[in-house]
Amino acid sequence: MTSVSFSPDGRFIATGGRDGRVKLRHGYTGRPLPAFKGRGHDHLVGCVAFSPDGNFIASGGHDDAVRLWEVRSGHEAPGFRPPFLKGSIDCIAFSPDGRFLAAGGWDGALTLLHAKTGWIVSNFFGKGHSQAVHGLAFSPDGRRLATAGRDATVRIWDSCSGRTVLVLKEGHLRAVRAVAFGTDGNQLASGGCDQDLVLWDAGRERPAPDFDGKGHEGAITSIAFSPDGRSIATAADDHTVRVWHAGNGSCARGIRYGSPVDSIAFSPDGKRIAAGGWDGELHLWVLERGFLQDGPGREFDVRKGRCRKCGSLLGLLERLAGTGICRGRRCR
């Protein structure tokens, strides 16, 4: 399962899979609902997203196609005829007002489509990332668009003019695979192959200095802010989903799976996290009670391997010492 997305009312979850199919599931049980009708994608589905009104689901595939589905009928939306884009589509998002769709892919292009017709409104090809665009997100007011690139940069664009507002280069050493705006639009989180969760002030070029964000042992593949903006959830290739404090970047909770996790999403009420990964299953984590469904995931102690006093990661010699305390100046 490559992608998951909650409907705005939390009643449904859209999923995309390696079989090229987009599916609709019950938002509280994860139970599959009647299948969508239509051809679907000819290759794996790289991304899915609900429209702000909850009536449509957009999907992007590694067959270079963007498709729009009617939730009520299960059919492809009539009149939506976008051209095939160059390069596999890895990320997609509706603008907050529902008028536009942004799509990014492996050719490094960022394309803005009209959400009803699929016509290309703007194409940012050659104006930004030098390699693939793996993630994107609109700011809550829709005026900015953030993209995560394989070129180890995060870019912030003016969504109206297509002009680059900021290029964030200092946070990552390797490919950036996911990006998300906070609910107030002032914070931006990113993560990727260097395994670190990085928090940015959306108007500055340097990461937040007091944000930890360390803990994953594999590439971060997906990021989501909680609706209240106080927590950040991440999925990673290390088979885990983690929940972090948005203020200081300390890891609060974690779930371990039996396979890499590709995508996560918070429910609109902030009480559930949906996750999908290489095992092809949808997993729902009710934060107050643990798992809603039986499954291979289990919650683990996120403090293991960290200093008991300051919470920083312990080095090899510090772990071998067995005291659980780091050698930092504050903890000696």
Same domain, 124 and 156: yes
DSSP state of 36: P
Same-domain check for residues 287 and 331: no
- Percent residues over pLDDT 70 in the chain: 86
The CA distances from residue 126 to 28, 111, 150, 245, 263, in Å, are 42, 11, 14, 36, 28
Q: Based on the domain organization, do 290 and 316 belong to the same domain?
A: no
Q: Do residue 230 and residue 327 come from a single domain?
A: no
Same domain for 235 and 330, yes or no, is no
From 7-16, 195-204, 296-305, the region with the lowest mean pLDDT? 296-305
Residue at 266: amino acid letter: F
82 and 196 belong to one structural domain: yes
For the stretch 52-69, pLDDT in tens is 999 999 999 988 889 999
**Residues 24-45 pLDDT 10s:** 999 998 899 988 887 778 889 9
Please tell me the distance from the alpha carbon of residue 213 to that of residue 248, in angstroms, as a whole number. 8
Specify the pLDDT at position 298.
58
| Position with higher pLDDT, 78 vs 2 | 2
Same domain for 325 and 285, yes or no, is no
CB contact at 8 A, 42 and 36: no
**Sequence-separated (6 or more) residues with CB below 8 Å from residue 291:** 255, 283, 284, 285, 297
Q: Which residue has the higher pLDDT, 262 or 82?
A: 262
Phi, psi of 71 (to 5 degrees): -65, -45
Q: What is the mean pLDDT of the chain?
A: 86
Query: Residue 171: helix, strand or coil by DSSP?
Result: coil
DSSP secondary structure string for all residues of 104-170: EETTS-EEEEETTT--EEEE-TTSS-SS-EEEEEE-TTSSEEEEEETTS-EEEEETTT--EEEEE-S
> Is there a single domain that holds both residue 105 and residue 254?
yes
- Whether this model's pTM surpasses 0.95: no
- Considering the domain architecture, whether residues 199 and 220 belong to the same structural domain is answered as yes
CATH number at residue 135: 2.130.10.10
What is the domain range of residue 324?
305-332
One domain, residues 271 and 319: no
DSSP string, 190-232: EEETT--EEEEETT-SSB-TT------SS-EEEEEE-TTSSEE
Q: Chain centroid to CA 282: how far?
A: 15
How do residues 287-330 score in pLDDT, each as one tens digit?
876 444 444 555 655 555 556 445 556 565 565 555 566 666 55
Cα–Cα dist 163/124, whole Å? 9
Do the bridges between strand 231-236 and strand 100-105 make them parallel or antiparallel, or are there none, so unpaired? Answer: unpaired
Q: Are residues 328 and 237 in the same domain?
A: no
Are 71 and 61 a contacting pair, CB within 8 Å? Answer: no
**pLDDT attached to residue 315:** 63
Handedness of CA 155, 262, 276, 16 (dihedral sign): positive
* Cβ neighbours of 215 (radius 10 Å): 23
Please check whether residues 264 and 314 belong to one and the same domain: no
Q: Is the pLDDT of residue 130 over 90?
A: no
- CB proximity list for 281: less than 8 A, separation 6 or greater: 1, 295
How confident is the model over 140-157, as a mean pLDDT?
A: 94
**Which residues on neighbouring strands pair with residue 45, listed in sequence order?**
61
Is-contact 120 82, C-beta < 8 A?
Answer: yes
Q: Work out how many domains the chain is built from and give that number.
A: 2
